[in-house]
Structures are given as structure tokens and as C-alpha cells.
Chains A and B, each alone.
Chain A
Amino acid sequence: MSPARAVLVKIAGGLSILALWEMVARGFAAAYVARPSGILRVLPQTLGSEAVLRGTAITLWGVTQGLIIAVILGTAVGLLMGSLKLVERLLGLYVNGLYAMPMIAILPLLTIWFGYTSKTRLATVVFASFFPIAMNVADGARSVPAEYLEVARSCRARPHHLWFGVTLPSSLPYLLAGVRLAVGRALVGAVVAEFFVSVDGLGFYVLFQSRTFHHNQAFVAVLLLGAFALAIDALIAWLTGRYLRWHRPGEDRR
């Protein structure tokens, strides 16, 4: 299929979903239920509204901050876990266990530590995104081929050469896979935290608009969150193309 046709098919798929939604909403739902035509109608005004702009900025900045902290901490802990047996034994069980644990369960505790403030959102985002990153980087550091380390040692590498010159670059594909997982979890974490502690942001905007029966407006904010996830995915794809050209997925890493 030619690229142009592939795009057309995708658009056709999207349009039919929207049409179905519109028909079902018109036929069976109350007037305040969000529908494509309604969303389209409020879109320009909602996107331009001060509340949405502020909410977007606040939430995305919170998510970005949290992700940056999680990437730094997660990479450090992951490298330590993957290359030092002792750290693996100390932390392995907890990192893997906490990864699987639903973070919503810990939110009440975080509110006690950080209060009903934006710090709770930041903590939730860090908490949600740290574990997939640490786990992936640890996997990457564990599976550094022995040949690379042997070559480095033969060139009289000191420990920092091994860490930052071999283990880290060799684990980069794992790190990026971890970040991809983390982005989704971070967004969920931020929105849930806003629901729970009622701090300003896109999530709170969705909650507020839903409760006041402005479902079309609420949906615009949901779309914005989705767009952010897509943008980060595109950024990661770009980074992969730029810095991981050497990586051949599915091939023996040699």
C-alpha cells in the first residue's frame, strides 16, 4: 500500500469511529454528554481559555519535572542494581514489587507527607515513573555482553570508564524503553493526583468540567493529555533515530 493510501485508510478509520460516536450520542445520550460535533464547537474557545492554558502548563511542567527526576534516579539505581550483586540483592525485590503495585494505593500516604499541594503530584509522578526506568536499566546493565567489558579492561579502563563508557551506553536502548513505559504512568499519576488532592492542572480541569456538565470541554483536556503522550513518543522515536542508530533490535548485540 502506498504511503498516501495508508494515511487515507487511517483517516477513514478515525472518521468512522467519530461518526459512530456522534450517532450513538445523539440517539441515546443526554445533551451534556460529549460528542465530536460538540467538542469541535467548543475547541477553539476552550483551547484559548486561560484555565486550559494554565492547567496544561502546570500539569505538563509537573510531569516533565517528575520524569527528569525519575530518569536520573532510575538510571543511577538501575545501573547500581545491574552491575553490583549486593545492590541487586538489597533492592531487587522491592523495585520489582513496587513496580507492580498500583500507585493509587500510596497516594493517601503521599498526601500526608506532602500535603494537599502540587508536591504530591510531583511525588506521584516520580513514584509512578521511577520503577519502570530503574527496572529496565537494571536489565540493560545486567545484560552488557562480557566482550565489551573485556575490551574495556584490556584497554586498562578504570571503574568510571566501565560505568559511563560501557554499561551506560550499552543499556541505552533499555533506558529508552523504560522511559516510554514511564511516560504513560507519569501522566496517569499526575491526573490521578490532581483528582485526589484537587490541585490546579489539566486533570483537575477535567474533573471540574465533568462535575459541572461541561463534558465537551472536559474532553478537550483529555485530548490534550493524549497529544502530550504522542509528542513524547515522537521525541523518543527521534532520540532513538539520532542516538541509537547503532542499535539493531532483535539482533545479537555484538
Chain B
Amino acid sequence: MPRIAVRGAGKRYGELQVFRGLDLSVGQREIVALVGPSGCGKTTFLRCLDGLIPMSEGEIVVDGKPINGPLPRTAMVFQHFGLLPWKTVRGNVAYGLDLAGASKAEIRERVPHFIQLVGLAGFEDAYPYQLSGGMQQRCGLARALAVEPDLLLMDEPFASVDAQTREILQFELLRIWRMRPTSMIFVTHSIEEAVLMGDRVIVLKGRPSGVAEIVEVDLPRPRTRATLASPRFAQLREHVWNILMDEARRAEFELER
């Protein structure tokens, strides 16, 4: 049974229907990748799941029971990093724990561990402005991981770093995930990233957007750089690309007319 299921989700901003009739499930220890064109409502959907904004229609079911209110034990990694500039790396990583009511001793013990885990050891006392984009993103990741969530919502976490750093971070995240596998919804623009990370890739498109197709990614784990070179990876990438491009080509055609 899927751990978390979303049925018939829809979100409207006044006249604008962002998405509609969205069904999606995430199993225990499953990574679901969500791809779709810019503006199709990926961030909006994660915000709904995190309880930051209400859904207009649909329901969320956790372990078989519909819930109202925000999902329990959920942490989100933001597209915009979301670091508090007046807090150091240590303070930012501790923030989620602190608000979750963790004791001082617990915070002292766990924070260094997660700073280490994301490779920010030595930067504990740095302020966000002193960090590179990639380091800021890791700091946001450490904050989310530190509360040991059952569901991780990742909003294009690696979108604003260079290609090499991005690749490093992808494999780092997979490594961290293997140590403590949680359910994860991983939003991305990048088709390659979606296929590399996901057990399934859910392709959103249309206006309002909905699920165009769910692609099972039958690549073995652990996934490594070798995975990127495998023929099956290329096949899956092409497949997802075709689903997405279908619409883009149509848009192009309409532009030219």
C-alpha cells in the first residue's frame, strides 16, 4: 500500500487553474521524481503537500487515513534555499530541530552530524552570504534532513548550481538517502536528474496541468555515474523527453502560425 496518496488534487489561484485531477502516490522508501515545464505548478503542488497553502480540491491520504492539515513529519528543501541570513550554518541547520521542540542536548549532538553529512564541516560559523550557492543549498538540505523526516519534499534543489556541483550533489543525496531511506518527492526541470533519482518519474503537462504519464524507472540501485552511461538510462531519458517535447513542439508550432 502506498504510504502517501494524493487523490484528485487541484489548485486554483482565482481564475488561474494551476493543476487539476492530480493523482500521485509515494511508497515507503520511494523516490518519486516530478518533472514538468516551468510554471506547471510543481512548486505549488509541493507547497500544498507541505501545508503551506490549501489545496482547492482533492484529498491526501496517509497510511490509509485521509488527513486534514499539514502532513506530519515532512520537511521541504526550497528552490530559493530559504536560509535565514542572521543565522550561521549551525543556526540554520538547528532551526527545524529547534522548532520541532528538540532539546538543547539533542541539537548539540545532531547538528554537527548533519553538517558533516552534507560536507559543510568547517563552515559552522559562516553566515549564508559567505557561502556559495551550492553550499547554501547543502545547508538547506541539512536543515531538512536533521529533523529526520518521513517525507522529503525537494523543490529543484540543485537548479542553481553549476553542472559539476550538481552531479556531485546528486550522488551525495543518493548516498545519504541509502543511509536512511525516506519517501521523497523530487521536483526537477532536468529530465536526466529525474530519471537518475526517481523510482518513478511523473510527468506533468497541460494547462491546467495534470499527470501525462508515469514512467517506471527500472534502473538498479545504487545508482552511480555508470548509470548515466547505461543504454537503459538513455532509453528512459528519451522516453520522458518525448512526452514533454510533444507539447513544446505544439507550442512552437502555434507561435509560428
Contacts and interface: CB of A to CB of B under 8 A. Distances in A.
Interface string B162-199: 00000000000000000000000000000000000000
B45 interface: no
Interface in B203-238: none
Given A154-B76, A155-B100, A251 B129 contact: yes
10 contacts: A147-B82, A150-B52, A151-B78, A154-B75, A154-B78, A155-B147, A166-B84, A170-B86, A246-B128, A253-B85
Interface in A125-154: 147-148, 150-154
Contacts of A169: 84, 86
A153 B129 CA distance: 23
Interface string A25-66: 000000000000000000000000000000000000000000
Given A147-B80, A151-B78, A151-B82, 19 more contacts: A148-B82, A151-B83, A151-B84, A151-B95, A153-B52, A154-B78, A154-B82, A155-B100, A155-B147, A156-B70, A161-B99, A169-B84, A169-B86, A170-B86, A246-B85, A246-B86, A246-B127, A246-B128, A247-B85
Nearest to B52: A153
A157 B99 CA distance: 6
A39 B76 CA distance: 67
B81 to A, nearest CB: 8
* 5 A-B pairs with least C-beta separation: A151-B82, A155-B99, A246-B127, A169-B86, A246-B86
Interface in B115-135: 127-129
Nearest to B70: A156
A10 interface: no
Contact of A254 (B80, B95, B100): B80
Interface centre among A153, A170, A244 (most CB of B within 10 A): A153
Given A246-B85, A253-B85, A154 B129 contact: no
A211 interface: no
Contacts of A150: 52, 78, 82
Interface of A: 147-148, 150-157, 161, 166, 169-170, 172, 244-248, 251, 253-254
Given A147-B82, A148-B82, A246-B129, A156 B76 contact: no
A152 B85 contact: no
A154 B52 CA distance: 7
A25 to B, nearest CB: 51
Interface string B97-110: 00110000000000
B50 interface: yes
Nearest to B96: A155
Nearest to B140: A151
B142 to A, nearest CB: 13
Contacts of A166: 84
Contacts of B52: 150, 153-154
Contacts of A251: 129
A172 B87 CA distance: 13
B100 A148 contact: no
Contacts of B81: 254
A244 to B, nearest CB: 8
A53 B80 CA distance: 56
B187 to A, nearest CB: 15
Contacts of B86: 169-170, 172, 244, 246-247
Nearest to B88: A246
